[in-house]
Amino acid sequence: MRNKTKRNTEPIIKKAIILLILCISITGASAYLMRLGLSKWSYLNMKDTEVTGTTSINPNMIHIALSEFKGDNLYLLSDEKIAHKILQIPQVKDIRIGRIFPSTLKVRVEERMPIGYVRTPQNEHYLIDDDGVLLDFAHNIDELDLPVFLNISINNLTLGDKIEDKNFQTLLNVFHKIQVSYPDFLMTLNEMYCDNGDVILTDQNRGVKFIVGDRDFDERLEKLVFAFRNFGVATYSEIDVRFSDPINELVILR
């Protein structure tokens, strides 16, 4: 009985395998013919581009970059190839790609927004975003009311590169903490730099220097902002929050 059952199931298995192979072959052939047909149909070649999401970037920059693909089949053009081209623009953080039948390529842009300037030892200024990416050369730093990061090494970097300088990473960490917790205080700051490892913030408008130190940034910033809001900083040239004792937190006013 077992041998008979085995003999009955063998032809079924063979037929299933043959049917599976035929299905795969037909699917592959259909895909090839469809791709071949699409590639020959000029009606689907890219003719127009639509760009959305830009605020500070001139959308013509995106249109010009995409013009390289005009005449290519819109539906055979890979998203990776498009993204690689557009993400070479330093101010572009990410993109979404779509297609409008029959021949329009649509790109939605996510921009890198500037959060400050970096000043080089040669007294040149570059806009940076919150990832520390160099966005553009700044001809006039008064155009945007943003803090300046000083004493930063950007040797051999070009636009679109990320600053890896250790001091800058420390300053960027402090910047993010202030940005989240004390935005009103951030608006008063003009410069940020490290001096012998200590983070220094300045309010040039009032001539006040804030010394934060090299550690415990959450606690020290809380103490600093309390002093800023309550001690009348305009009467002091320096506020130092680096020191503490087992009983009292100390704020040194000079």
* 197 contacts 170 by C-beta, under 8 angstroms: no
Residue 162 tokens read as 């990320």
* 173 contacts 190 by C-beta, under 8 angstroms: no
Closest CA to 65 of 87, 43, 97, 95: 87
**SS3 of 123, please?**
coil
Instruction: Write the CB contacts of 108 (distance below 8 Å, at least 6 apart in sequence).
Output: 51, 52, 53, 95, 96, 98
Residue 74 tokens read as 């819109």
- Per-residue confidence (pLDDT) for residue 18, from 0 to 100: 62
Please state the separation of Cα 195 from the chain's center in Å. Answer: 28
Number of C-alpha atoms within 13 angstroms, CB side, residue 123? 0
- Per-residue confidence (pLDDT) for residue 33, from 0 to 100: 39
Per-residue pLDDT of the chain (254 residues; tens, 9 = 90+): 445 454 555 566 666 566 666 566 555 544 443 555 555 567 889 999 999 999 989 999 999 999 999 999 998 999 999 999 999 999 999 999 999 999 999 999 999 999 999 998 888 999 999 999 999 999 888 888 999 999 898 988 999 999 999 999 999 999 999 999 999 999 999 999 999 999 999 998 888 899 999 999 999 999 999 888 887 766 678 888 998 765 555 666 66
- Per-residue confidence (pLDDT) for residue 230, from 0 to 100: 86
